[in-house]
């Protein structure tokens, strides 16, 4: 069943390659995405045991459902988007999007570190053509930076994995294996220096992919130049997958009794990410780069949540859901605004609400949500994380996070409000808000609104189980 979930998008990609019908190719995306979500839900009802290669534990179940939901929204949007981009075609982007889905699913369900590595590298390769979709000088520069930095990062993650295998070898574990469950079982035997080295390289490698500062430099370029839906998939889906990979390393460190070191490293990188993001968001003249820095900030918040532990870990799990869906809403509506104005710079973009009533309003609401304004979901999760920070006695860290949240709110607000407020402008393009282009961001917005006021019991349980996986000590 799980194997089918990974393989059928590849079949879809194969069909897309030979199908000579433009609309058919576009509609293949929501078809596969809908099937993926349906199957994912079915699997979640009965996850089955963890296999040696594939399997879903509480953490991966959470990431799987979020990614699948986000992907469906982006796939529906893609039909409308590709309709408008007939000049650019969809012969490459549709198969790549489907391969990307398969690679993400594989990375989420991998129970073997080697398989996880392969899948994450496959996401890098399959998303490079997505970033290059617009085929101009800027997008090529963004693609090159993305490809090179992420490949080197993933190379270092590979070294980290090898270090962990070597830790098992030196520790006298036989047989040496990178299978995750057997590593967890023999975690206390692993040689400590090699395990620490391995963790650092895994953190650096997958942290590059996730976009934690100071390894985030590809992020504004890639998110800025990629189409809106690709930005949404990268910022909501891929970052969650990379975060999952880092959490695997944290799980291993915790099982070996060195969880504190892992948490401190995450905490440090998280605070740095928020700081860097805050600095670059102030007076940011480009709405999509603004969203990219916001993504860096929220990766920082996730890392801080896990770094503090306890209640904050629960908050981080909730924030993973909220961040993914809010980023989906923001990137898709920003994509609409960019298409309408034929620009993403503040020099041209203003009065978006008056000009594009739906996309403009959704973008503004998304901005309020992502900066943690009630009653949206991110408010709840950020509040939970802050409660966790103050509750565990980290007064100064809590105050620092609050201060940086305020800086981000002001910095992001200046740009988002300038873009949305003001008189309507005469558009040079014939773009109009159409059903397919606005339904997904609206649905995402509604979901995070609901999550802000009411957390359903099954979700709460899923979040608790996921957080518990990170807390278990030997």
Partner 1 sequence: MANLLLLFVLLINFYTLGSARLVACIRAVALQGALLALLPLAIHGPTGHALLLGVGALLFKGIFIPLLLLRTIREVRIRRDVEPFIGFVPTLILGLLVTAGAFIFADFLPLAHEHHEGLFVPTALATMFCGFLMLITRRKAITQVLGYLMLENGIFVFAVLLSAAMPLMVEAGILLDLLVGVFVMGIVLNQISREFSSLNTERLTALKE
How far apart are CB 244 and partner 1 at their closest, in Å?
19
Of residues 367 through 386, those in contact with partner 1 by CB under 8 A are none
Q: Based on the shown chain and the rule CB under 8 A, indicate whether residue 86 belongs to the binding site for partner 1.
A: no
Closer residue to partner 1 in complex, CB, 173/269 = 173
Q: Which of 170, 275, 354, 439 binds partner 1 (CB under 8 A)?
A: 170
How far apart are CB 109 and partner 1 at their closest, in Å?
15
Question: What are the distances in angstroms from CA 430 to CA 154, 319, 463?
Answer: 42, 37, 44
Euclidean distance between CA atoms 21 and 108, whole angstroms: 32
How far apart are CB 51 and partner 1 at their closest, in Å?
14
- Nearby residues of 322 by Cβ (< 8 Å), 6 or more positions away: 369, 376, 377, 378, 380, 381, 448, 451
Q: Which of 118, 184, 275, 443 binds partner 1 (CB under 8 A)?
A: 118
Closer residue to partner 1 in complex, CB, 345/387 = 345
Q: Which of 191, 208, 273, 326 binds partner 1 (CB under 8 A)?
A: 191
CA 461, 466, 468, 473: dihedral to nearest 10 degrees? 160
Closer residue to partner 1 in complex, CB, 44/159 = 159
Q: Which of 93, 115, 271, 346 binds partner 1 (CB under 8 A)?
A: 115
How far apart are CB 385 and partner 1 at their closest, in Å?
28
Q: Based on the shown chain and the rule CB under 8 A, indicate whether residue 412 belongs to the binding site for partner 1.
A: no
How far apart are CB 231 and partner 1 at their closest, in Å?
14
Q: Which of 20, 175, 393, 458 binds partner 1 (CB under 8 A)?
A: 175
For partner 1 (CB under 8 A), the number of binding residues is 47
Of residues 207 through 236, those in contact with partner 1 by CB under 8 A are 220-221, 224-225
Q: Which of 15, 176, 402, 459 binds partner 1 (CB under 8 A)?
A: 176
Q: Based on the shown chain and the rule CB under 8 A, indicate whether residue 258 belongs to the binding site for partner 1.
A: no
The binding track of 278-317 with respect to partner 1, each residue x by CB under 8 A or -, is --x-------------------------------------
Closer residue to partner 1 in complex, CB, 128/340 = 128
Q: Based on the shown chain and the rule CB under 8 A, indicate whether residue 112 belongs to the binding site for partner 1.
A: yes
Euclidean distance between CA atoms 97 and 92, whole angstroms: 9
Closer residue to partner 1 in complex, CB, 107/356 = 107
Euclidean distance between CA atoms 265 and 272, whole angstroms: 11
- Nearby residues of 288 by Cβ (< 8 Å), 6 or more positions away: 223, 224, 228, 231, 331, 334, 338, 344
How far apart are CB 56 and partner 1 at their closest, in Å?
20
Q: Among 3-11, 170-178, 267-275, 438-446, which window interacts with partner 1 (CB under 8 A)?
A: 170-178
Closer residue to partner 1 in complex, CB, 68/191 = 191
Q: Give Cα 434 distance to the centre of its chain.
A: 26
Of 70, 74, 30, nearest in space to 325 by CA:
70
The binding track of 125-164 with respect to partner 1, each residue x by CB under 8 A or -, is x--xx--x--xxxx-xxxxxx-xx--xx--x--xx--x--
Q: Based on the shown chain and the rule CB under 8 A, indicate whether residue 114 belongs to the binding site for partner 1.
A: yes
Per CB under 8 A, residues contacting partner 1 are 112, 114-115, 117-118, 121-122, 124-125, 128-129, 132, 135-138, 140-145, 147-148, 151-152, 155, 158-159, 162, 165-166, 168-170, 175-178, 191, 193-194, 220-221, 224-225, 280
């Amino acid at each position: 069943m799980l194997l089918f979930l990974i393989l059928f998008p590849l079949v879809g990609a194969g069909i897309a390659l030979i199908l000579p019908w433009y609309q058919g190719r576009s509609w293949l995306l929501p078809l596969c995405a809908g099937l993926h979500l349906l199957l994912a839900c079915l699997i979640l009802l009965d996850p089955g045991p963890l296999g040696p290669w594939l399997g879903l534990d509480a953490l991966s179940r959470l990431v799987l459902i979020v990614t699948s939901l986000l992907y469906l929204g982006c796939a529906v949007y893609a039909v409308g988007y590709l309709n408008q981009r007939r000049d650019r075609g969809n012969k490459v982007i549709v198969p790549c999007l489907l391969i990307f889905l398969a690679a993400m699913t594989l990375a989420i369900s991998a129970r073997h570190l080697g398989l996880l590595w392969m899948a994450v590298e496959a996401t890098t390769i399959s998303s490079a053509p997505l970033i290059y979709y617009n085929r101009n000088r800027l997008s090529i520069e963004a693609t090159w930076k993305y490809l090179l930095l992420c490949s080197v990062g993933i190379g270092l993650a590979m070294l980290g994995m090898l270090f962990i295998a070597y830790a098992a070898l030196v520790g006298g574990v036989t047989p040496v294996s990178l299978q995750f469950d057997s590593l967890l079982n023999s975690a206390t035997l692993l040689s400590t220096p090699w395990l620490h080295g391995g963790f650092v390289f895994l953190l650096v490698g997958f942290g590059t992919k996730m976009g934690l500062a100071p390894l985030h430099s590809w992020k504004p370029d890639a998110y800025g130049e990629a189409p809106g839906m690709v930005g949404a998939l990268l910022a909501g889906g891929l970052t969650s997958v990379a975060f999952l990979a880092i959490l695997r390393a944290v799980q291993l460190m915790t099982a070996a009794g060195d969880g504190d070191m892992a948490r401190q490293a995450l905490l440090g990188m998280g605070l740095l990410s928020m700081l860097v993001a805050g600095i670059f968001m102030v007076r940011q003249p480009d709405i999509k780069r603004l969203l990219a820095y916001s993504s860096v900030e929220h990766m920082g918040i996730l890392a801080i949540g896990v770094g503090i532990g306890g209640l904050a870990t629960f908050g981080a799990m909730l924030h993973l859901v909220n961040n993914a869906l809010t980023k989906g809403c923001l990137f898709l509506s920003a994509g609409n605004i960019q298409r309408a104005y034929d620009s993403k710079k503040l020099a041209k973009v203003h009065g978006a609400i008056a000009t594009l009533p739906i996309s403009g309003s959704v973008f503004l609401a998304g901005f309020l949500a992502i900066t943690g304004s009630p009653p949206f979901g991110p408010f709840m999760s950020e509040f939970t994380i802050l409660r966790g920070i103050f509750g565990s006695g980290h007064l100064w860290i809590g105050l620092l996070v609050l201060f940086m949240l305020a800086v981000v709110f002001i910095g992001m607000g200046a740009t988002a409000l300038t873009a949305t407020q003001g008189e309507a402008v005469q558009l040079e393009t014939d773009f109009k808000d159409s059903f397919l282009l606005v339904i997904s961001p609206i649905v995402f917005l509604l979901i995070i609104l609901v999550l802000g006021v009411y957390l359903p019991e099954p979700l709460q349980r899923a979040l608790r189980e996921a957080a518990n996986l990170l807390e278990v000590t030997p």
